[in-house]
Each structure stands twice: as C-alpha cells, then as structure tokens.
Amino acid sequence: AYVVAEPCIRCKYTDCVEVCPVDCFYEGPNFLVIHPDECIDCGACEPACPTKAIFPEESLPAKWNEYVQLNADLCKVWPNITEKKDPLPEAEQWKDVEAKREYLEK
Ligand code: SF4
Ligand code: F3S
C-alpha cells in the first residue's frame, strides 16, 4: 500500500483525495492517512501531493518508517475523506519545514 508520511503534517492539501479511485484516505486534524487494506496501489496520489508526502511502502524513506504503522492505526479511528477541501491556512509556510512529527495531532 501507499503511505502518507511527515511532509503532510500541518499542510493537508488534499489533492491526493481528489485523485484516489477507491476513496481510501482518512482525515485527522492536520494530517491524512491511507487505509492499507483499501489502497489498490494505483499510484495516482503520489505525484498529486504538493509536499511529496506519499510513497509506496517499499520506497518510503527509512526515517519515516513509523508512518506505516501510523497510517494503519489512524485510518481506523479517523473519518473517511472523499472530496478535496482547502489546505490548512498555514500550509505554504509549513510545506518545506522538516521534522514536523511533533506537531501531528490525533
Ligand atoms: Fe488511492 Fe491509488 Fe493512492 Fe492507493 S495509490 S491511496 S488507491 S490514489
Ligand atoms: Fe497531505 Fe499531500 Fe494529501 S499534503 S493531504 S498527502 S496532497
């Protein structure tokens, strides 16, 4: 499955939601996750994300390994999101900031 990693935090552009054919994104306060059992590995979301937050699990940078489990766990508690919405208000400011893990709200 594809995995949403750290660059999404505090941005949440949701362009990924718009292109996903199976609606397998789930939405938290400042981050989205992919349901690993629903993702069909089509790859459409990866180039759609302005922050390059999405990776196939097998090519996820090792520093973000933790996000595999975060996607699997949070997709079970967060609501499904099926339509694109406005990014978070400070998305542009946070887009290129590294080490945003501490800001992840659940
Ligand atoms: Fe959806 Fe395809 Fe991305 Fe999986 S790879 S989350 S099915 S757009
Ligand atoms: Fe996040 Fe990128 Fe989607 S910032 S909401 S993974 S388009």
Confidence of residue 92 (pLDDT cuts 50, 70, 90): very high
Distance CA 90, CA 63 (A): 25
Residue nearest to atom 1 of ligand 1 (CA): 20
Q: Is the pTM of this model over 0.90?
A: yes
ipTM of the prediction greater than 0.95, yes or no = yes
Q: What is the pLDDT of residue 66?
A: 98
If 0-12 CB within 10 Å is exposed, 13-18 middle and 19+ buried, where does residue 8 land? Answer: buried
> CATH assignment of 2-82?
3.30.70.20
Q: pLDDT tens digit string along 14-70?
A: 999 999 999 999 999 999 999 999 999 999 999 999 999 999 999 999 999 999 999
Rounded to the nearest angstrom, the distance between the alpha carbon of 64 and the centre of ligand 1 is: 19
Q: What is the pLDDT of residue 2?
A: 98
20 lines ligand 1 (CB under 6 A): yes
Tokens of 73: 């766990």
Q: What is the pLDDT of residue 84?
A: 98
Q: What is the pLDDT of residue 37?
A: 98
29 lines ligand 1 (CB under 6 A): no
Residue nearest to atom 3 of ligand 1 (CA): 45
Amino acid at 18: E
Cβ-based neighbour number of residue 4 at 10 Å = 28
| Alpha-carbon dihedral sign for residues 14, 49, 71, 36 | positive
> Nearest ligand to the C-alpha of residue 42?
1
Q: What is the pLDDT of residue 47?
A: 98
Q: pLDDT tens digit string along 69-84?
A: 999 999 999 999 999 9
> Residue 23 CA: which ligand 1 atom is closest?
1
Complete DSSP assignment for 42-87? ---HHHH-TT--EEEGGGS-GGGTHHHHHHHHHTTTSPEE-S--PP
